[in-house]
Every structure is written in structure tokens, then in C-alpha cells.
Amino acid sequence: MKHDAKTRKKRLYDTLRQEILTMEREPGADIDEVTLAEAFGLSRTPLREVLQQLAGEGYISSRENRGSRVAELSHQTLRDFFLTAPMIYSAVSRLAANNADAVQIADLKKTQSDFKAALKGGSIKERTLANNRFHEIIGEMARSIYLAPSLQRLLIDHARIGMTFNRPQNDRMAANLAMASQQHDALIDCIESGDEQAAAELAIEHWNLSRDQIEMFVMPQSLDTRMGAATATKSA
């Protein structure tokens, strides 16, 4: 019975996490605990444990006496995202080049193969999840107790607003998506060879590639989102 409950909890966690990353559950949407409990065969306590875990990781927010809801994507959140992302990606990639082991590199290469396959014939959802996992692994390689929580929160929002980037609407966007895949390959090479500086610089280039496309859909033109990239480039 305990094993079954553990399996159901993991299935609920995986399902909610994926639905949030791919925008099937929109930012700010309420979490219906009764419906989830019935759908996954869980009582209130294990259900709450899953929601607490997701809240701790930044996928949802808990409100006292008002239940849980999907983490918001407010103007302030988006502003912080654009200013902070290049600094975190650069630092994480630098550490990954220094700390990655052979098993993690093999996992990263496998995930990149999944991403390439999704680009050729997969859905937007598959592309987004493969790309998200690629960057999660680089975060694991970094082995930083300080950067790990920040990267985790960043990747949630990058996946959600990146659903636009993974849905190319013109030739330029399609070309950029292909370039992103090439940069993944180059980043793997930098990490595998232990080239910290090149990995950090390439992380900035990779961020810049997707930033402009994402900005067109989610950011007001008055917001200076280039500040973060400039700051990270100077410090790399």
C-alpha cells in the first residue's frame, strides 16, 4: 500500500510539474485539491505533501485558507527574469565545466538527442520539456547549493514563456531554434573539455538567442532587458 501511495504521489508531482511547465495550467490558476485527490487516488495528507514540495520548488504558491495556485508570471517576475537569467546561466555553466562527471555528460548528450528529435518531429511540449531537462542537468553538474534553487525557479519561467520560442512563426525564428540546438552541442563540448570561460560565454550567447524572441511576446518595449546580459558579460 505504501509503495502504491508513493507511486501515485510521484505521478501527481510529475503531472502537475509538466502541466505547469508547458502552460497547460496557466499562471495564477487555482489548484483544485478535491479533483486531484480523486483523480490520483490520494488522501489529503499525501496530496498536501506533493503540493508543499511543488511550492518549495517554485511551481505553485500556497495561500493560507485559500488553497494553492500556479505560480504567477507578473510584470515584476518577468522583469527579474530577464535581468537575472544571463547571470545565473553563465555562472552555472562555468561551474558545470569544472564539476561535471562522465555520467552527467552522457545524460546531457542523451537529452540533447531527445531535443533534436523533438525539433524534427516532436510537439512544442516535447521541445520545451527536452530543453528544460538539458538545462536542469547543467545545473546538477554545477553542484552549487546556492545557485541550484535560483536556477530551478528560473527554468520554470523560462520553460513557460519559452513555449513561444519553441513555436517558430517565421523563418527567422525557425533558424534561431536550429541555432539553439547547435549551441547546445557546443556547450556540451565546452563542459566535456572543462573550458569554464568558453562555457560561460556560450551560455550568454545562448540566452541572447532566445531573449529577443521571447521579448516580442511578453515584455513591454520600455523595459530595458539588456542590462542583465551586459552585466553578466562583463563579469564572465
pTM for the structure as a whole: 0.84
Q: Is the pLDDT of residue 229 over 60?
A: no
- Residue 120's identity, in one-letter code, is K
In DSSP terms, which residues pair with 61 in a beta bridge? 69
**What is the pLDDT at residue 103?**
98
Q: Where are the domains of the chain?
A: 2-70, 75-235
Question: Which bin fits 67, alpha (ψ -120 to 50), beta or left (φ > 0)?
Answer: left
**What is the pLDDT at residue 87?**
96
Q: What CATH architecture is 75-235?
A: Up-down Bundle (1.20)
Taking only the tens place, the pLDDT of each residue in 91-117 is: 999 999 999 999 999 999 999 999 999
Helix (H) or strand (E) holding 60: strand 60-63
| Secondary structure (3-state) at 68 | strand
Fold entry, domain 2-70: Arc Repressor Mutant, subunit A (1.10.10)
- Record the cell numbers describing residue 2, joined without a space: 505504501
**What is the pLDDT at residue 224?**
45
Crossing angle between the packed helical segments 147-161 and 196-218, to the nearest 10 degrees: 40
- Record the cell numbers describing residue 101, joined without a space: 562527471
Mean residue pLDDT of the chain comes to 87
Task: Please list the alpha-helical segments (H only) found in the chain.
Answer: 2-21, 33-40, 44-57, 75-99, 102-121, 124-142, 147-161, 171-193, 196-218, 227-235
Taking only the tens place, the pLDDT of each residue in 5-56 is: 889 999 999 999 999 999 999 999 999 999 999 999 999 999 999 999 999 9
Q: Which of 61, 82, 93, 125 is nearest to 198 (CA)?
A: 93
**What is the pLDDT at residue 215?**
67
**What is the pLDDT at residue 41?**
94
| Secondary structure (3-state) at 65 | coil
**What is the pLDDT at residue 230?**
43
